[in-house]
Amino acid sequence: MKGALVTGATTPVGAAIVAQLLKDQVASPVLAVGAESYEDVKGLFPQPEVIYVQADLTRSRELRTLLFAPAKAHNVETVIHTALHRAAHATGSRVHQLNVESTRELLRLCEDHPTIRTFVLRSHAEIYRVRAVEPEIIDERHPIDLSPQIAQWLRDRAEADLTTCASIGLSSLSIRVLRCAECLAPDTGSQLFDYLGSQICFQPLGFDPMINLISLPDLARAFALATVAESSGIFNIPGKDTLPLSVLIEKWGQTSVPVPSVLLSPLYWLRNKVIGSDFVYDLNRFRFHFSAVMDGHRAERLLHYTPQSAIMWPAH
């Protein structure tokens, strides 16, 4: 069996992917790559087939060493790239370096690598443009939001996605870009998780869009399937839960308070200043107004992925 390398392995998503690859016996060994020292993450990977490697992906030399020393030695065939800054408030060139430039560099090095054949990128449903005039069911050809006013958090995600997509067909690698629905779990960079952290959730008055969410087990399963798939390209990875925003708030045990749309941005700005939440309303403005549900037919047909596990709703 060939090896796999997972970046961002110390995040909940990365760790779940590592565990799933071993559980489904699609890769062994698995090189789990994280920025933390081994001492800090010792208990995270109890499996003997996991080799933890500490690396700073923003440093070109470390990236090269990672790929051409341990990855080559362990016959790594697939690279799964999930590492990126999760905090919406984090901005600047260092953040861009990890989100975009490391993706570009990793992709380039993988192309020159003697054993790596497959590159899988974790991309995000949030990069799709959501507007009143757009379809509510989003397929892979749906426009990406590249409007000039979007925040770095979104722009970096879109750029990393498009950088990888640009290599499809040009590169010797088999490239799979998985545009995943939002995973409602802590420390995954989920804006909705932060939004639901407050007992009172302000919602645009008169709007109640449909939202699709993916569970962590489904997300990990999609990457395991993508590792062994034969097709390359872009794949939407929807989750099992599709529901209106107000029902989501209710199921999470919080209270929805409709507020005129114009007040939401200042209200959440104020809340961030007082409480320090990572939820940024302006990043979510359009999807809090208009429905956006991903069409997963392509992933179903070519990756054999269908959502199976629902979100674990908090008991209340």
Radius of gyration, alpha carbons of the chain: 19
Q: Which of 30, 82, 5, 20 is nearest to 225 (CA)?
A: 20
Pick the closer one to other proteins by CB: 56 or 134.
134
Smallest distance, other proteins to C-beta of residue 296, A = 11
Smallest distance, other proteins to C-beta of residue 150, A = 19
Q: How far is it, in rounded angstroms, from Cα 226 to Cα 50?
A: 19
Smallest distance, other proteins to C-beta of residue 176, A = 23
Smallest distance, other proteins to C-beta of residue 251, A = 8
Separation of CA 54 from chain center: 21
Cβ proximity of 99 and 124 under 8 Å:
no
Smallest distance, other proteins to C-beta of residue 247, A = 5
Pick the closer one to other proteins by CB: 132 or 315.
132
Pick the closer one to other proteins by CB: 103 or 212.
212
Pick the closer one to other proteins by CB: 79 or 293.
293
Name the site residues for other proteins (rule: CB under 8 A): 132-139, 142, 204-210, 240-244, 246-247, 250-251, 258, 261, 289-291, 293, 295, 310
Pick the closer one to other proteins by CB: 68 or 207.
207
CA angle 292, 156, 77 (to 5 degrees): 95
Smallest distance, other proteins to C-beta of residue 70, A = 42
Pick the closer one to other proteins by CB: 26 or 294.
294
Pick the closer one to other proteins by CB: 90 or 210.
210
Smallest distance, other proteins to C-beta of residue 303, A = 20
